[in-house]
């Protein structure tokens, strides 16, 4: 695999103080009048080494940060595409320890922010403090648990603070004003805006209400907003960034390519490259 070095990449990293923070990433992008393109994949889908190749391809396409899921047997907030991805990873022998190992391997070649998406039981079972400590050791920038609302997040927040990891929270269309205030206070790094009613999965278009919600959050808080769930085309990326979001998180659209082509790795990587490059291009902010 021919791995070209990232143009914007702040260079090789190895100690945690040279890792890029979300703040630094957003600043760098702002200067270039761009939004963030953040791909999501599940660690170890379809298996460990191929998955690492996928990460390298995503970086070549211009990923500004990565969201990496730890495979879980019962991912209720995800649609069928990501659930199958979880199950493929588990079938290939992935577990929590190997997923951390995966992050360490990624850290050998990039310093951009890495966010984890982990269902809470995996964190709880390992021990909250222990999990965050290990995450820090591996170079994780942020952690998001799809099934951990602010009501239950006290222990996680403590650990996040202790190990200097950003705790990410979701905001949805259904989130009311008071709650939005509370979440904005608790969150750090960025606000993860769920763009659709429902679970993850590819969608035809970005809902108007998403655009309204981006504006609502922007009026509320200085935290950057990234939009995920259902962002599956370069036009969606463009729409949410034009609407004022600082970035777009794209999962199912990439994972669908993995699903359909994982028995032909070269072709799969080509397709991912093509699709995600278009998405990165769509992050250019047009001044109207």
Partner 1 sequence: MIESGKFGKYGGIFAPELLIPALEELESAFLKYKDDKKFNQELEFYLKEFAGRPTNLYLAKNLSQKLGCRIYLKREDMLHTGAHKINNTLGQGLMAKYMGKKRLIAETGAGQHGIATAAVGALFGMPTDVYMGMEDVKRQRLNVFRMEISGAKVIPVETGSKTLKDAINESMRDWMTNVQDTHYLIGSTMGFHPYPTMVKHFQTVIGKETKNQILEKEKKLPDVIIACVGGGSNAIGIFSEFIPDSEVELIGVEGGGHGIKSGNHGATLCAGSEGVLHGSLSYVLQDTDGQICEAHSVSAGLDYPGVGPEHAYLHTQRRARYVNVTDSQALRGFQLLSCYEGIMPALESAHAIAYMEKYAQKPENKGKTIVVNLSGRGDKDMFLAASILGVEV
Report the residue number, 91 or 108, with the smaller CB distance to partner 1: 91
The first and second tokens of residue 197, run together, are: 């009613």
d(CA 200, CA 196) in angstroms, rounded, equals 8
Decide if residue 146 touches partner 1 (CB under 8 A).
yes
- What is the dihedral angle through the alpha carbons of 238, 112, 43, 191, rounded to the nearest 10 degrees? -50
User: Shortest gap between Cβ of 149 and partner 1 (angstroms)?
Assistant: 6
d(CA 143, CA 120) in angstroms, rounded, equals 10
Coil, helix or strand for 109?
coil
Decide if residue 147 touches partner 1 (CB under 8 A).
yes
d(CA 177, CA 103) in angstroms, rounded, equals 36
Applying CB under 8 A, the span of 45-53, 123-131, 237-245, 270-278 interacting with partner 1 comes to 123-131
The first and second tokens of residue 287, run together, are: 């001044």
Single out the residue of 39, 62, 69, 79 in contact with partner 1 (rule: CB under 8 A).
79
Residues that bind partner 1 (rule: CB under 8 A) add up to a total of 40
Report the residue number, 52 or 199, with the smaller CB distance to partner 1: 199
d(CA 66, CA 89) in angstroms, rounded, equals 18
The string over 250-287, giving b where at least 16 C-beta atoms fall within 10 Å of a residue's C-beta and e elsewhere, is bbbbbbbbbbebbeebeebbebbbebbbebbebbebee
> Is 78 an active-site residue?
yes
Of residues 44-73, those binding partner 1 (CB under 8 A): 72-73
Whether 232 contacts 249, CB under 8 Å? no
Decide if residue 222 touches partner 1 (CB under 8 A).
no
Report the residue number, 87 or 284, with the smaller CB distance to partner 1: 87
Decide if residue 76 touches partner 1 (CB under 8 A).
yes
Which one of the listed residues 45, 78, 86, 275 is annotated catalytic?
A: 78
> Is 84 an active-site residue?
no
- Sorted by sequence, the CB contacts under 8 Å of residue 78 that are 6+ apart come out as 86, 146, 199, 200, 201
Looking at the chain, how many residues does it have?
288
Binding mask 182-211 for partner 1 (x = CB under 8 A): ------------x--xxx------------
Single out the residue of 57, 167, 175, 232 in contact with partner 1 (rule: CB under 8 A).
175
Of residues 85-114, those binding partner 1 (CB under 8 A): 87, 90, 95-97
Applying CB under 8 A, the span of 42-50, 149-157, 217-225, 270-278 interacting with partner 1 comes to 149-157
Catalytic site positions: 67, 78
Residues found near partner 1 in the complex (CB under 8 A): 72-77, 79-80, 83-84, 87, 90, 95-97, 120-122, 124-126, 146-149, 151-152, 169-176, 179, 194, 197-199
């Amino acid at each position: 695999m021919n791995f070209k070095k990232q143009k914007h990449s702040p260079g090789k990293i190895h100690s945690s103080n040279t890792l890029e923070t979300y703040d630094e990433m957003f600043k760098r992008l702002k200067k270039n009048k761009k939004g963030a393109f953040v791909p999501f994949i599940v660690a170890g889908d379809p298996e460990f080494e191929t998955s690492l190749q996928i990460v390298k391809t995503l970086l070549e396409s211009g990923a500004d940060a990565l969201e990496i899921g730890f495979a879980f047997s019962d991912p209720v907030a995800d649609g069928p595409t990501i659930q199958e991805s979880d199950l493929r990873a588990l079938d290939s022998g992935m577990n929590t320890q190997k997923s951390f190992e995966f992050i360490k391997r990624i850290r050998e070649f990039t310093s951009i922010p890495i966010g984890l998406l982990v269902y809470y039981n995996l964190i709880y079972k390992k021990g909250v403090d222990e999990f965050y400590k290990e995450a820090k050791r591996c170079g994780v920038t942020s952690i998001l648990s799809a099934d951990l609302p602010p009501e239950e997040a006290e222990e996680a927040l403590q650990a996040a603070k202790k190990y200097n990891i950003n705790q990410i929270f979701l905001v949805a269309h259904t989130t009311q004003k008071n709650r939005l205030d509370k979440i904005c206070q608790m969150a750090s790094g960025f606000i993860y805006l769920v763009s659709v009613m429902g679970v993850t999965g590819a969608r035809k278009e970005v809902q108007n209400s998403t655009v309204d919600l981006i504006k609502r959050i922007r009026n509320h808080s200085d935290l950057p907003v990234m939009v995920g769930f259902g962002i599956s085309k370069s036009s969606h990326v463009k729409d949410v960034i034009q609407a004022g979001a600082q970035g777009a998180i794209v999962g199912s659209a990439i994972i669908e390519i993995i699903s359909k082509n994982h028995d032909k790795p070269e072709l799969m990587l080509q397709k991912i490259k093509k699709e995600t490059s278009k998405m990165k291009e769509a992050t250019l902010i047009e001044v109207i």
